[in-house]
Amino acid sequence: MNPDAYIACLECDLLHRRRPLPPNGVATCSRCGALLYRTRRNSLDRTLAMAICGVILFIVANVYPFLTLTYEGQEQETTLISGIIALYHQGMPVLALLVLATGIFFPLLELVGLTYILLPLKYNRKPWGMAPIFRVIRNLQPWGMTEVFLLGILVSIVKLADMATLVPGLALYAFLILIFVVAATSASLNPDIVWEQLTVDH
């Protein structure tokens, strides 16, 4: 960590000099006690493993059926994308776009972007466009709402349960695991492992 770097408290704007922390150490504001930054043990390896796992789960969740509905002898398979397309055809394009962005696109972009950045760093190489891509990832993290997306799906399942027989598909289980993987990826990431590479290069 660059000893001349400074960080401002997000709560009270007090400027602090950044100092190296022990593994799993936490730095707090001397004025208001708010969290400034922390270190996480094996952050690069853990975050990279979670990101790759998340990308695989995303593929499974979108390739395989999410639910199979059986009604009066007829079966219909649904996928994640088919639900969004249904919203669009029902005259709700803005809602469909919002669900697509927050439930699928933003979380997938975060996982793919982290894999793109962290995999070269693991082998001491700097990927092209690392700084702007990482900034985009950090800005999009609060907008990834896979858990809200799943909550809406579960509400729909409850309403449809009395009308048809529902059989969960492989994609549903993959998406359930994906929610925890996305959360674990964000929790295990130490942003300093990326920013320090830019400092070293300069």
**pLDDT tens sequence across 94-127:** 988 988 888 888 889 999 999 999 999 998 888 8
Residues contacting residue 21 through CB under 8 Å, at least 6 positions apart? 27, 37, 38, 39
Task: State the pLDDT at residue 4.
Answer: 47
Q: Please give the pLDDT value at position 200.
A: 54
Q: Which residues of the chain have pLDDT under 50?
A: 1-4, 202
Distance, in Å, from the CA atom of 51 to the CA atom of 112, rounded to the nearest integer, reads 7
| 154 in Cβ contact with 19 (< 8 Å) | no
The phi, psi pair for 90, rounded to 5°, reads: -90, 10
